[in-house]
Structure 1
Amino acid sequence: MGNPKAFLEIHRQEAGYRPIHDRIHDFGEVEQTLNTKERKAQASRCMDCGVPFCHWACPLGNKPPEWNDALYRGDWELAYRLLNATNPFPEFTGRICPALCEKACILNLIEHEPTTNREDEASITEAAFREGYVITHHPKRNGKRVAVIGAGPAGLAAANDLNLKGYEVTVYDRHEAAGGLLRYGIPNFKLNKAIIDRRMKVLYDEGIKFVFEADIDLQHLSLANEFDAVVIATGTPTARDLKIPGRELKGVHFALDILSQQNRILDGIEFKKDEIVTAKGKDVLVIGGGDTGSDCIGTAHRQGCKSVTQIEIMPKPPVGPEDPKNPWPAYPRTLKTTSSHEEGCTRRWNINSLEFIGKDGKLTGVRVQEIDWKPNPEGGRPLMVEKGKPEIIKAELVLLAMGFLKPEHPQYPKNVFVCGDAANGASLVVRALASGKQTAAKVDDFLKK
């Protein structure tokens, strides 16, 4: 801890976003970066606490006090080594992680100005790639082969660890490129896909094999007989639907229909005119108040929408920074305003969708009902009660962003392991990475025995 008084003398400084009038016209990353002097100053605020709750809160077990101290001292290579020891892909989490560690930071409890761990993490990793600190490993092979199904964050993390342990790893994925939701769900304005490609080059060079556009039957998993072990990391491919009258109208889409297509278009893939899902010139309604819904808002703005409204069936979260129901060091379930929300959006809570309305087969609006939630006298989930009269929200495009269904799996052979969202249901990228690493350790232990 090079400067024990830094947290008293230096305030939290975030890099912030590009100006709205500039960023909504392209899909470049919206987040800016601090210069080296400012970044080191932010790292100096880390207090090296006796009990580092940041370490406790991080699913990967990252150790911010160690790499923040190295960053403050100017040893960027050591900072990356310490960071990469627990996090295989810090360039991903440094951009899109909600930073559970920051909410658990002592400075968040005392001043609501936690250390900028996530931004520090991104800066450290960019310096590592820029200065050549990211080295390629060529582990000695142990003669055993492992198949990983799914090239999303969990699958890549599992493949990375198993490869470094000496296994010959082959990754199968149904898409045309690796990344899973990192590539096909998260917009480029949050994560430029060149960042994924850069890491993929390292994984290729380290000997991991990839087979894309692979149709793997999980119900009859023949790979279990061809490999010593199989890791299933297929995520949660089924989105939660809203089966109300009018669902068949043209203009009602799942969130990933527009998000994945837009990312593919930016990657040079062409679609037929009648296949394109676009918000251009339309009133857009996003149903679902989470991060996926926020990504739809930002995408709609960049496509040239007329307006965006986001509705959520649950009550409005408390306005932070504190959440009485989830006190520090737990993650506060407070109102989150993203860069996409700042670009313009009407947000409403306690809204239940009743019917999609259309004309000549095309969507024109959604009939909704304001509701309240009352305690259930029998316990369990609160009861929904209507409030006021139904109304119609005008919309030519509806994007369903209500989450994903946890997949069900058959009984697999003993040499098959399930990880990430495929095992636990939809969650954070950082939790998927942690699950991938934990599963790799289980596979290693199983094969050694």
Structure 2
Amino acid sequence: MGKTTGFMEYEMEAPPKIKPMERVKNWQEFQLVMPEEKLQTQGARCMDCAIPFCQAGTTMDGSGEIGCPVYNLIPEWNDLVYRGKWKEALVRLHKTNNFPEFTGRVCPAPCEGSCTVALNDDPVTIKSIEFNIVEKGFKEGWIVANPPEKRTGKKVAVIGSGPAGLAAAAQLNKAGHWVTVFEKDDRIGGLLTYGIPDVKLSYHVIQRRLDIMEEEGIEFVTNTEIGENYSVDALNNDFDSVLLCTGSQVHRDVPAEGRGLEGIHYAMDFLRPNTKSLLDSRHHDGNFISAEGKDVIVIGGGDTGVDCITTSIRHGCNSLTQFDIHPEKDSQRDEDNPWPLYPVVYGQEEGHKEAEAVFGDDPRAYKIMTKKFVGDENGRVKELHTIDVDTIYEDGKKIRKEIPGTERVWKADLVFLAVGFTGPEQELLEKMEIETDDKSNVKAEYGEYKTSRDNVFAAGDNRRGQSLVVWAIHEGREAARECDRHLMGTTNLP
């Protein structure tokens, strides 16, 4: 490494962001580009640690994740940034990740949790360096279309244009196959476009990469749902192989009394129309659920719940509370969460910081379980009845144990359910006669990705269950490799 003692000499400096009270007035991205000299200093903090867990990309059953799922060559491009060799750093970055501009914005950075410096100090700002490498690449014009020199004549259909589908399409096109990506929505991107607010991942960032992919020969077909306006028979006749990347879209519900009242929505039924209206008309068409002037409660403590917070604040909600059924995390790792596992510790997401700036307090309420929704005379939700719970395990099963005397009533005009997803939509899988597992996910072995149909592969959330963007990219790349091997008998894809 270029600066062997850099981690001892330099302090970690977090990437700059526009202040919460300023950024909540608009829908623009709030992450800023750091000066190059500061980034080089941050790159110098990367240790010559010999065993870079940051790029391990593995999981420990029942414990958690270690390192980067796409096996980013993190120490290599940190060193290159330190030396000012930005173009070489970009080449290293693209070797393992088709879309560092996406992960550099929305990945929770398991790599940083596994950084060796993090054993007793702040980790290297890996995510920030990744973001700045790729942004400099676009600014300097280094990222351009690179179509394959030869075509195999094979045609592959990718169903779904989220991160798994786009990664698979990019890799299959690189191998020389003709690739068509089908998307049922009106814009390409899947979860990236309509599941993540524009303030975290602006659509122009997605579109500039799509433009390059189109130049490279990939065809994108929107407003097309396989099995509805494009038949399964036509799919089988037109393509040599099919890759399913349809995501996990069946919502998990909160089946409490009063669930059918107006004003209670799944998170995606709030987030998707909001982004579509923003992109279509800057919200002038009114085709979205507005939180303006409303008392909002978000049920669910994960990233999707935070996205509902981010969106509601920009609408101008009156108040905001996020229910988390888990207890508040400690600021230090527990004994069963040692390094280099992803640290399960207390932290504030950017949406929490915005809510605290606007309303004066962190919006989260912990150990809360909703018992009942109560409506007004017009059948619209007006309050939630809750009780505090402890989470215990008996015979390996998770049980929510109610705590007597902790009943509460919360005022609410809008409720967003952000408690996750149970699996992929089943209609297409049934029409294609694809076998599923006991969790309703596509049955396909990790590393092989082959479904019960010989020429059909699956990758991403529809196979592994709800997960991270970076895991979807990982699976899309690997499934492309196996699809290429199936078509050609051998493969050069990583």
TM bin (shorter chain):
over 0.9
Counterpart in 2 of 1:323?
334
SS at match of 1:230: strand
Measured after TM superposition, the shift of residue 198 of structure 1 is 0.6
Verify the 8 A CA contact 2:383 2:413 in the aligned structure 1: yes
> How big is each residue's C-alpha offset from its partner over 1:56-110, in whole Å with a ceiling of 9 and x where there is no partner?
0111010111111111111111000000000000000011111111111000112
Tell me, yes or no, if structure 1 residue 425 matches structure 2 residue 443.
no
**Structure 2 letter corresponding to 1:425:** G
Verify the 8 A CA contact 1:107 1:115 in the aligned structure 2: yes
Q: In 1, Cα distance between the equivalents of 2:244 and 2:210?
A: 19
Measured after TM superposition, the shift of residue 365 of structure 1 is 1.0
Verify the 8 A CA contact 2:246 2:461 in the aligned structure 1: yes
Q: In 1, Cα distance between the equivalents of 2:207 and 2:258?
A: 41
Counterpart in 2 of 1:16?
16
Counterpart in 2 of 1:209?
219
SS at match of 2:420: coil
> How big is each residue's C-alpha offset from its partner over 1:18-42, in whole Å with a ceiling of 9 and x where there is no partner?
1122011111112223111101111
Counterpart in 2 of 1:262?
274
Measured after TM superposition, the shift of residue 339 of structure 1 is 1.1
Tell me, yes or no, if structure 1 residue 388 matches structure 2 residue 400.
no
Verify the 8 A CA contact 1:254 1:401 in the aligned structure 2: yes
Verify the 8 A CA contact 1:369 1:391 in the aligned structure 2: yes
Counterpart in 2 of 1:397?
414
Q: What are the equivalent positions in structure 2 for 1:90-105 lying under 5 Å apart?
A: 90-105=100-115
Select between 101-110 and 221-230 the one with higher mean Cα deviation.
221-230
Q: In 1, Cα distance between the equivalents of 2:145 and 2:101?
A: 16
Measured after TM superposition, the shift of residue 336 of structure 1 is 2.9
Verify the 8 A CA contact 1:287 1:401 in the aligned structure 2: yes
Counterpart in 2 of 1:114?
123
> How big is each residue's C-alpha offset from its partner over 1:176-229, in whole Å with a ceiling of 9 and x where there is no partner?
111111110111111111100110000010000011011112998332342111
**Structure 2 letter corresponding to 1:323:** D
Aligned to 2:365, which of 345, 348, 357?
348
Verify the 8 A CA contact 2:159 2:242 in the aligned structure 1: yes
> How big is each residue's C-alpha offset from its partner over 1:137-185, in whole Å with a ceiling of 9 and x where there is no partner?
1211011000000000000000000000000000000011111111101
- What's the RMSD between the two structures over aligned residues? 1.8
Measured after TM superposition, the shift of residue 9 of structure 1 is 0.6
Structure 1 unaligned runs (5+)?
none
Counterpart in 2 of 1:184?
194
Q: In 1, Cα distance between the equivalents of 2:467 and 2:45?
A: 30
Verify the 8 A CA contact 1:224 1:413 in the aligned structure 2: no
Measured after TM superposition, the shift of residue 275 of structure 1 is 5.1
Counterpart in 1 of 2:343?
332
Tell me, yes or no, if structure 1 residue 280 matches structure 2 residue 298.
no
Residues 274/18 of structure 1: CA separation in 2 closer, same or farther (3 Å cut): closer
Measured after TM superposition, the shift of residue 381 of structure 1 is 2.0
Measured after TM superposition, the shift of residue 399 of structure 1 is 0.5
**Structure 1 letter corresponding to 2:409:** I
Counterpart in 1 of 2:313?
301
Counterpart in 1 of 2:6?
6
Measured after TM superposition, the shift of residue 372 of structure 1 is 2.0
Q: What are the equivalent positions in structure 2 for 1:145-160 lying under 5 Å apart?
A: 145-160=155-170
Verify the 8 A CA contact 2:24 2:314 in the aligned structure 1: yes
Relative to the length of structure 1, the TM-score reads 0.96
Aligned to 1:130, which of 139, 148, 154?
139
**Structure 2 letter corresponding to 1:14:** A
Verify the 8 A CA contact 1:311 1:347 in the aligned structure 2: yes
Measured after TM superposition, the shift of residue 413 of structure 1 is 1.8
Select between 22-31 and 83-92 the one with higher mean Cα deviation.
22-31
Counterpart in 1 of 2:302?
290
Measured after TM superposition, the shift of residue 276 of structure 1 is 2.9
**Structure 2 letter corresponding to 1:341:** H
Q: In 2, Cα distance between the equivalents of 1:25 and 1:215?
A: 36
Q: In 2, Cα distance between the equivalents of 1:379 and 1:192?
A: 42
SS at match of 1:84: helix
Relative to the length of structure 2, the TM-score reads 0.87
> How big is each residue's C-alpha offset from its partner over 1:332-369, in whole Å with a ceiling of 9 and x where there is no partner?
22223111101224211111111111111111111111
Verify the 8 A CA contact 2:72 2:97 in the aligned structure 1: yes
Verify the 8 A CA contact 2:277 2:285 in the aligned structure 1: no
Select between 276-285 and 243-252 the one with higher mean Cα deviation.
243-252
Tell me, yes or no, if structure 1 residue 141 matches structure 2 residue 159.
no
Q: In 2, Cα distance between the equivalents of 1:446 and 1:337?
A: 45
Q: In 1, Cα distance between the equivalents of 2:4 and 2:286?
A: 61
**Structure 2 letter corresponding to 1:260:** R
Q: What are the equivalent positions in structure 2 for 1:67-86 lying under 5 Å apart?
A: 67-86=77-96
Q: In 2, Cα distance between the equivalents of 1:159 and 1:16?
A: 33
Verify the 8 A CA contact 2:39 2:129 in the aligned structure 1: yes
Select between 278-287 and 356-365 the one with higher mean Cα deviation.
356-365
Residues 382/247 of structure 1: CA separation in 2 closer, same or farther (3 Å cut): closer
Quick one: percent identity of the two aligned structures? 40
Q: In 1, Cα distance between the equivalents of 2:68 and 2:284?
A: 43
Tell me, yes or no, if structure 1 residue 311 matches structure 2 residue 311.
no
Residues 342/116 of structure 1: CA separation in 2 closer, same or farther (3 Å cut): same
Verify the 8 A CA contact 1:406 1:424 in the aligned structure 2: no
Verify the 8 A CA contact 1:224 1:416 in the aligned structure 2: no
Measured after TM superposition, the shift of residue 319 of structure 1 is 2.4
Q: In 2, Cα distance between the equivalents of 1:3 and 1:46?
A: 8
Counterpart in 2 of 1:66?
76
Verify the 8 A CA contact 2:370 2:385 in the aligned structure 1: yes
**Structure 1 letter corresponding to 2:458:** V
Verify the 8 A CA contact 1:372 1:387 in the aligned structure 2: no
Counterpart in 1 of 2:242?
230
Verify the 8 A CA contact 1:224 1:415 in the aligned structure 2: no
SS at match of 2:251: coil
Q: In 1, Cα distance between the equivalents of 2:25 and 2:270?
A: 17
Q: In 1, Cα distance between the equivalents of 2:236 and 2:71?
A: 31
Q: In 2, Cα distance between the equivalents of 1:447 and 1:29?
A: 41
Counterpart in 2 of 1:372?
390
Measured after TM superposition, the shift of residue 405 of structure 1 is 1.2
Q: In 2, Cα distance between the equivalents of 1:444 and 1:273?
A: 44
Q: In 2, Cα distance between the equivalents of 1:255 and 1:355?
A: 19
